Structures are given as C-alpha cells and as structure tokens.
Amino acid sequence: MSDSSTIPENSRKFPILACDLGEKQKAAIELLVLGNTLGETANAIGVDPKTLYNWRRDEAFADALNARREELWDEAAQRLRAMVHPSLDILQQDLANRHERARFRAATAVLRLADLRRSLHSTRAGRG
C-alpha cells in the first residue's frame, strides 16, 4: 500500500494539509478527526503507536490536527445553520397538526429551543 492510499477516500483535500507533513501524517490527521483512537490510526497507516504519539507532540502536526478539527466544526456549524429555517417551518406545521401529540411534541421542542429560563434570567438581570 502506498502512502497516498492511506488517506480515507471520502476525505477532501484541505489547505491546512498542504504543509510539510508527510502523507502518513496527513492520513493520521484525517483518521484522528474522524474519531479513530491512536492505536486504530497507527495500525491503519502502518506506523508504530509511539511514532503517532511523537507526531502528536510535534507542533506542526498538532497545529494541523487542531486546524482540521476546527475546520470540521465550522463546516458542521454552517450545515446546522442552514437547517434551522426548514426545521422551524416543520415545527410550525406541527403546531397546527390536528393530532394533539404532534402539537405537544412541537410545542415542547419550541420551548426547549427558546430556552425560556435563560431568557427570563437575562430579563430579570436587566431590571435589577
């Protein structure tokens, strides 16, 4: 198996991986951000776990790993933001549902999302 085949097929090529890291290090970053353990990652890319441990202590590797994690979290946050309005539309439809259980579940979800306790607390704090 060549080094380039160790990067998961569904991984996109991201700019942070364009640094001076080797192919196995890049593959390790992808596997680690996907939730693989150090042992699983080391085994998958064919390195000793001690090597992977040492890589994680290397500043360039650690920076690339953290940047990749942040990149994935940012992407997830963007996807969630894009789902908010369609989800609210569905909740609004469910609030008008003729079945009481569906209305109740929708109303409960809306109240949880609104986090009234936080809103009430900030309103009271503003008065005091």
**Which residues touch 6 (CB under 8 Å, ≥6 apart)?**
23, 24, 27, 44, 45, 46
pLDDT at position 4 is 44
* Average pLDDT over all residues of the chain: 83
pLDDT at 49: 95
**pLDDT, tens digit (0-9, with 9 covering 90-100), for 58-116:** 999 999 999 999 999 999 999 988 988 888 888 889 888 889 999 898 888 888 888 87
22, 15, 20, 43: which is closest to 31 by C-alpha? 43
Higher pLDDT, 80 or 31: 31
pTM tops 0.85, yes or no: no
Structural contact between residues 17 and 64, judged by C-beta atoms closer than 8 angstroms = yes
What's residue 65's pLDDT? 96
DSSP type of residue 4: G
Residue 120 has pLDDT above 90, yes or no: no
Among 23, 69, 66, smallest CA distance to 46 is for 23
Q: Which residues contact 18 (CB under 8 A, 6 or more apart)?
A: none
